[in-house]
Amino acid sequence: MAKTKFVAVVKLDPADTLSTGGVVEWIGHWETDENNDGTVLPQPYQDSSGNIISGYKMVQLSEHDKEDADYPFGTSSEALSVKNPNNVTVGWILQDKTNILRDPNS
C-alpha cells in the first residue's frame, strides 16, 4: 500500500562541533517507494538513490496511507493536527543529544 510521510528535514550542526542537533529547514510530504519504471523519484533533500543528503536528517512527524479518504489532507487546523501533531515549524531546533524537536522560544 502506498504511503506518504509528513516530515521535518533538519540541517544538522557542523560535524566539527560534535553536536547531534540542528535546525528544521523544511517541512512537507515524502512519498515512500515512489518510482517511475523502477527508477527512484527522489523527494526533497534526497539524492538520486533516495537517501537523505549529507548534513541533513529526516524526522518523521506522521505517516499515512495514500488511499485514506482524507489524503492529501486539507489545510484546516484539524487536518494539520493529524499531519503535524506537535505543530513543528521551520526554525524549530532538534535538541542536541536528546533528538527532540522543540520551539526555540520555549
- Whole-structure pTM value: 0.79
Render pLDDT for 9-29 as a digit per residue (tens, 0 to 9).
999 999 999 999 999 999 988
Q: Residues 49-73: what's their mean pLDDT?
A: 78
Looking at per-residue confidence, does 80 or 59 come out higher?
59
Q: What are phi and psi of 17, to 5 degrees?
A: -85, -10
Strand order across the beta sheet in which 93-94 lies: 56-65, 3-12, 22-31, 93-94, 101-102
Looking at per-residue confidence, does 91 or 3 come out higher?
91
Q: What are phi and psi of 63, to 5 degrees?
A: -140, 140
pLDDT of amino acid 73: 54
Is residue 100 within 8 A of residue 57, CB to CB? The reply is no
